[in-house]
Chains A and B, each alone.
Chain A
Amino acid sequence: MSTSATSPVSAPPRSSTRPPVLEIGGLSVDYGVGDGAVRALHDVDLTLRRGEVLGLAGESGSGKSTLAYAVTRLLSPPGVITGGDVRYHPREGEPVDVLAMTPQELRAFRWQEVSIVFQGAMNSLNPVHTVRTQLTDVLKAHRPRMSREERTGRARELLSLVGISPDRLGAYPHQLSGGMRQRVMIAMALALEPEIVVMDEPTTALDVVMQRQILRQLVRLREELDFSVVFITHDISLLIEFSDRIAIMYGGRVVEQAGAADIYRDPRHPYSHGLLHSFPALHGPRRELTGIPGSPPDLRAMPSGCAFHPRCPKAFEPCGLRTPHLAPVTDTGTDTDTGRSVACWLNDDRRSGES
């Protein structure tokens, strides 16, 4: 049954040359309306390219899950999208505006084009239904023409895709281990061969051995099926290993965005630097680590200017007054675009920003 898994054989290396599949521009999200509104996302610009793994890192309250929900239009009240646009580029045809979709279009768009693996996915399976029922349910809703046998066949195929024996089709969620439940969730997300899979902390509840096993499987599936992944986690060392590009969020804004290796070698934003130095290293010399002083900002009382400045060791005069905007970083030596951007006054000579 599997419709064309059109993996372009001669795909160029996953770099900035690949076409975008999802473009987010100036996205803002509020929780609540009127005076009590809390702004959870400020002007987020982000591009997901075809076939890449985009890592989204940040602390709780940084807006990374809100971003995932906003992009899939799953934000439930009191969450309100107050501005910006989200454009989805299908393989053929014109880009479509996700935020302008009618409920009917949305129903077709979700899962077919963008699927999501939720935080604590282990517990998002329905405990009173078998794996078979839950996997075929997706197909029943989106592919009404499929016969019962075809659906079961596809469900078996999906299970083996994620490395679970198809015999477990009749199992209830409580009969599976945490790792297996997580893989069932991933199988479900891949059921309709979407272009984009959003994973919101998919492995946080698992231990490291299982986590690595699942991520390795994901990387392999990505090679096979050529979908793009938005990978949300607070574990930046995991992202550096598994993603192509990383966007780091703080206080509802993207503060730095660059290739995974670039961020690791040379973080430009003091917050990225702090995050990277909050993880004790497994190898190399043991050094005294301090983490980042203070605690994440309260969205109800955001600091003025750069949200990070009260915790920033390098804060200087403009930081408390004006908010820096995400600006491309140019290589000082060669004056070429490095493909990375950062929102920090330290890196901005033009001093552009709102006062």
Chain B
Amino acid sequence: MSEERSEEHPAPPPGRAAGPAGPTSGTGTGTGTGTGTDESVVLEAEGVSKHFPVRRGARALLGGERRAVHAVDDVSLRLRRGSVTALVGESGSGKSTVARLLAQLHPATAGEIRLDGRPVRAGRGRAFRAYCRHVQLIFQDPFASLNPVHTVRYHLTRALRIHGRAGSGAAELEKALAALLERVQLTPASRYLDAFPHELSGGQRQRVAIARAMAADPRVLLADEPVSMLDVSIRLGVLNLLRDLKERLDLAILYITHDIASARYFADETLVMYAGRMVEGGDSETVTQRPAHPYTRLLLASAPDPDRVTGSSGDGGTGEGGEGGGDPADPSASEPPSLISPPDGCRFHPRCPLAMERCRDRTPPRFDLDGGQWAACWLYDTSPDVPAPGDARTAGTGRGAAS
């Protein structure tokens, strides 16, 4: 394990600086918006990894092997002002860990998180609070994230006080509370202020949780599956509220979800994670309509899609195609890998229908595609040193399938 780390650790930074990974920032965003990008990026992560050590028994201690769960490996992302970035992946892919790293709830094992271009490593206490003023986290379960013995007023007042926005005097506080509730469309405020969480519906509770996050007047909102615990009919209401906040307050939002269809609906940019690594990214419409990475194709083919059976026409069929990625009979039959000893090379290769020889031992860097889309997959390697003709052919069909 240590060998692999020492090998691949130096690799990404040079790649980002000049190599094939560079184009992500070079072509994708660099050409037109190069200067604008730097200004609009609020929070960014570069090459961030998080390993959780596994508690060892006596035997492992003697053996000297050091095991860790590789929850997140070499993740880079940028959150821009006034834009929603979706992070999609199955359970255990490390997407929540990314949110916690960005919220500074866990220290990163490697890599750097930058707020406004300045590296942050908030510890606890004052530095952490100062960071929280800019970056707020919303959790999945509003039933658990609100204290059942306190009223809405208590929750919001506390958040306002901590961030020094309660004003002076009762009247100002009351005004601030009403403004907060109005911002999340819980009106009239008087009806909700003295309610306990159990008196509210799931959607209202999540709105209170959002209001609490807004009490800090943050610039970045990290939403970890904000709607998966809610009833389907009210999910869109909460998503539309978040979008509205984004537009009015110019927020940068990270939207974590396992529902790729909602990412298409809600997010400007979509990133796909698999087993702790980013595998694909780009404009939401492009990623969902023309997925490049075989894993994204599997994910899309697995999502419930009524059009598939009722046979109504449209661009449904063409998006997935009838080929390998369209019918996931084989890849879906296996499961995601153990993160304690993740597979070498591309982590998706044991399930990948298009796996080639080098997928087994070399981790693919980001390859840039058209329109700002990128994929970490050897299929898109256009460099001349393609090893074997057989591989090249496979790669050819892969490209065909993708476009």
Contacts and interface: CB of A to CB of B under 8 A. Distances in A.
B284 to A, nearest CB: 9
Given A240-B310, A261-B310, A295 B234 contact: yes
A102 interface: no
B276 to A, nearest CB: 15
Interface stretch (B46-54, B148-156, B299-307): B299-307
Most buried by A among B234, B266, B298: B234
B397 interface: no
Interface stretch (A65-73, A107-115, A274-282, A313-321): A274-282
A234 B319 CA distance: 26
B58 interface: no
Contacts of B259: 208
Given A208-B258, A208-B303, A212-B332, A280 B232 contact: no
Interface in A267-317: 274-275, 278-284, 286, 289-293, 295-296
Contacts of B310: 240, 260-261, 264-265
A282 to B, nearest CB: 5
Interface size class of A (residues with CB under 8 A): 35 or more
Given A211-B302, A283-B316, A286-B265, A292 B233 contact: yes
Contacts of B289: 283
Nearest to A290: B236
Nearest to B93: A207
Contacts, number: 128
Most buried by A among B237, B288, B316: B237
Interface residues of B, number: 46
Contacts of B233: 59, 274-275, 278, 291-292, 296
A283 B232 contact: no
A195 B306 CA distance: 27
Interface in B286-339: 288-289, 298-300, 302-310, 312, 314-316, 319, 328, 332-333, 335
Contacts of A163: 333
B81 to A, nearest CB: 22
Q: Mostly helix, strand, loop or mixed at chain B's interface?
A: helix
B309 A282 contact: no
A207 B258 contact: yes
A237 B306 contact: yes
A42 to B, nearest CB: 20
A280 B308 CA distance: 15
B120 interface: no
A165 interface: no
A292 to B, nearest CB: 4
Contacts of B261: 279-282
Contacts of B232: 59, 234-236, 275, 278-279, 291
Contact of A283 (B234, B302, B305): B305
Nearest to B231: A59
Nearest to B204: A295
B305 A282 contact: yes
B306 A296 contact: no
B302 A208 contact: yes
B78 interface: no
Given A60-B231, A291-B233, A283 B306 contact: no
Nearest to B199: A298
A209 interface: yes
A282 B332 CA distance: 19
B27 to A, nearest CB: 25
Contact of B335 (A179, A235, A291): A179
Nearest to B203: A295
B295 to A, nearest CB: 9
A282 B288 contact: yes
A265 B300 CA distance: 22
A283 B304 contact: no
A207 B275 CA distance: 13
A179 to B, nearest CB: 7
A282 B260 contact: yes
B174 interface: no
Contacts of A241: 304-306, 308-309
A178 B92 CA distance: 11
Interface in B242-265: 258-262, 264-265
Contact of B304 (A206, A208, A292, A293): A208
Given A207-B90, A292-B234, A284 B309 contact: no
A233 to B, nearest CB: 10
Most buried by A among B90, B289, B299, B315: B90
Contacts of B262: 280
A2 interface: no
Contacts of A274: 233
B235 A291 contact: yes
A274 B233 CA distance: 7
A60 B203 CA distance: 12
A213 B234 CA distance: 28
A281 B299 CA distance: 14
Given A236-B232, A264-B306, A281-B261, A286 B285 contact: yes
A290 B240 contact: yes
B32 to A, nearest CB: 23
Contact of B236 (A179, A235, A278, A281): A278
Contacts of A289: 236, 240, 265
A100 interface: no
A291 B234 contact: yes
A33 interface: no
6 contacts: A209-B90, A210-B90, A213-B332, A261-B310, A282-B319, A290-B240
Given A234-B231, A290-B236, 13 more contacts: A163-B333, A208-B259, A209-B332, A213-B333, A235-B304, A240-B309, A261-B309, A281-B261, A282-B316, A286-B264, A286-B265, A292-B234, A295-B201
Interface of B: 90-91, 201-204, 231-237, 240, 258-262, 264-266, 285, 288-289, 298-300, 302-310, 312, 314-316, 319, 328, 332-333, 335
The 6 tightest CB contacts between A and B, nearest first, are A291-B236, A280-B265, A207-B90, A292-B233, A240-B306, A59-B231
